[in-house]
């Protein structure tokens, strides 16, 4: 079984570089390339890599592609302290980028309203403290 080759194939499908993946999982690029060349990888690191590739360890081992839908996996590793959700079939980087853009647009629109609200308060002689 060639886990490293499977990781590489999934990484290439996601258009990620080895440098990007290494930074995302917290290792050097050399260490990451070694993993893709079928070097040793711990189960914990394999899980981190799988999460970043929006897949599961099982899917990496069996080289299953995303099903085209959304699959949620709930893992509770610390009693009831939290839940980890992996979304497969959706590029997490695109979600982060879209969320950031939407937030910035909303913030910008709200910021434009402040001078208008101040002018209305002055116009109607309403005292205010900011």
- The tens-digit pLDDT sequence of the chain (130 residues) is 589 999 999 999 888 999 999 999 999 999 999 999 989 999 999 999 998 888 888 888 887 554 444 445 555 555 554 445 555 566 667 777 887 888 888 888 888 888 888 888 889 888 877 6
Question: Degrees (nearest 5) of the Cα angle 82, 87, 89?
Answer: 175
Give the residue carrying structure tokens 């009693």: 79
Range of the domain at 128: 91-130
Whether residues 22 and 56 share a domain: the answer is yes
- Token readout for 117 is 């609200």
In this structure, what CATH number is given to the domain that contains residue 47?
1.10.260.40
Whether residues 23 and 70 share a domain: the answer is yes
Whether residues 107 and 66 share a domain: the answer is no
Whether residues 79 and 97 share a domain: the answer is no
CA dist., res. 27 & res. 47, Å (int): 14
CA dist., res. 8 & res. 4, Å (int): 6
Whether residues 118 and 71 share a domain: the answer is no
Residue 84: its H or E element: strand 84-88
Longest dimension (CA), the chain: 76
pTM higher than the cut 0.75 = no
Give the per-residue pLDDT at 25: 93
Whether residues 110 and 79 share a domain: the answer is no
In the DSSP assignment, the letter for residue 68 is S
Give the per-residue pLDDT at 29: 94
Look at the chain and report how many structural domains it folds into: 2
CA dist., res. 121 & res. 103, Å (int): 27
CA dist., res. 72 & res. 112, Å (int): 38
Whether residues 103 and 45 share a domain: the answer is no
Give the per-residue pLDDT at 86: 54
Whether residues 52 and 101 share a domain: the answer is no
Whether residues 66 and 120 share a domain: the answer is no
Whether residues 108 and 126 share a domain: the answer is yes
Give the per-residue pLDDT at 59: 84
């Amino acid at each position: 079984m060639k886990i490293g080759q499977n990781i590489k194939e999934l990484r290439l499908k996601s258009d990620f570089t080895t440098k990007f993946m290494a930074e995302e999982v917290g290792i050097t690029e050399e260490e990451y390339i070694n993993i893709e060349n079928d070097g040793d990888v711990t189960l914990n690191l394999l899980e981190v890599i799988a999460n970043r590739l929006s897949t599961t360890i099982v899917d990496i081992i069996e080289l299953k592609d995303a099903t085209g839908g959304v699959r949620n996996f709930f893992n509770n590793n610390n009693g009831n302290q939290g839940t980890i959700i992996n979304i497969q079939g959706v590029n997490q980087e695109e979600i982060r980028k879209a969320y950031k853009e939407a937030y910035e647009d909303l913030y910008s629109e709200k910021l434009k309203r402040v001078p208008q609200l101040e002018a209305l308060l002055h116009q109607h002689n309403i005292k205010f403290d900011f």
